[in-house]
Amino acid sequence: MVKNLKKEIILASNSPRRKAFFELFNFPFSVKTIDIKEDYPIHLKGVSIARHIAGLKANPFKKTISKNQIVITADTIVWHENKCLGKPCSEDDARKMLYSLSNKTHKVITAVGFLTYENYSCIDVTTEVTFEELNESIIENYISQENPFDKAGSYAIQESIGLMGISKINGSYTNVVGLPVTEVLNEIERLI
């Protein structure tokens, strides 16, 4: 656990899952976000996309950050069959994503940026996730009863579809939820 916190931690994320993790850390932090367009150059692949977007989220804070602050940004993507699956824009989009993940392994990549007055650094963590075959009723119940629209790849590992459909993960569980907790705490410890 982080000891002797001498800097103000600002979580630049509206994700309720990331906020919940920070609440468990037992140190003071605030949430402040600045809307940006989460675009990336088409030549970027996998981890480069997540790192690029985490950096974009940090950029607006560079003008106002003070010496005693650390701004933490994050972006999570699902990388599957050489494509980035972001948040779905419709039920049909969510349905297509979930069917494409069925009975296959994909990567969940989270990049976490750390902006200080002196510089910006970024870490990334990749977890492999394998779904069993997802039948129509599992997918339709999930889409109608839970919220796939604020989640990369249209699912959350801690919700029903993850509990019933995921057969294996290789790597960090918390990364799939949206924040690689151990790695983030280690980086905060290094920066304070």
Active site residue 75: yes
- Report which DSSP code applies to 25: T
Catalytic residue among 75, 92, 124, 150: 75
H/E element, 169? strand 166-170
> What gap in Å lies between CA 49 and CA 140, rounded to an integer?
29
- Is the Cβ–Cβ distance between 110 and 74 less than 8 Å? yes
- Is the Cβ–Cβ distance between 181 and 19 less than 8 Å? no
| Dihedral in degrees, nearest 10, Cα atoms 91, 97, 99, 103 | -150
Residue 74 β-bridge partners:
112
Q: What's the distance, CA 58 to chain centroid?
A: 15
Catalytic positions are: 75
